[in-house]
Structure 1
Amino acid sequence: MTAVLPARLLALPEHYDLAGTMAGLAVIRNDPTVRVSAREAWWVTRTPDGPGTLRLCREGSTLVAQAYGAGAAWLLDRADAIAGLRDDLSSFADVAGRHSLVHRLAHVYRGRRMPASGVIFPHLLPAILGQKVTYQEAYRAYRAILRHFGEPAPGLPDMPVPPAAEAIAATPYYVFHPFGVEQRRADTLRRAADRATALERATSSADATRRLVSLPGIGPWTAAEVVRASHGDPDAVSVGDYHLPNFVAWALAGEPRADDRRMLELLEPFRGHRGRVCRLIVAAGIGAPKYGPRAQIRSFARF
Structure 2
Amino acid sequence: MNRSAHTSPVSPDAPDTSAGPASGRRVVRIGTRSSPMALAQVERVRAELTALEPGLEVEVVPVTTSGDRWQGSLAALGGKGAFTKEVDQLLLSGNVDLAVHCMKDVPGDRPVPAGTTFACYLERDDVRDALIHPGGLTLDELPAGTRIGTSAVRRIAQLARSHPHLDTVPIRGNANSRLAKLAAGQADALLLAYSGLERIGETARAAEILDVDTMFPPIGAGVLGLQCREDDAATTELAGRLGSPGTWRQTTAERMMLHVLQGHCNSPIAGFAADLPDGRLHLRAMVFSLDGKVAVQAEETGPASDPVLLGTSVALTLLRQGARELIEASADTA
Q: TM-score by structure 2 length? A: 0.31
The structure whose residues are more often strand, as a share, is 2
The structure whose residues are more often helix, as a share, is 1
Largest Rg, 1 or 2: 2
Q: TM-score by structure 1 length? A: 0.33
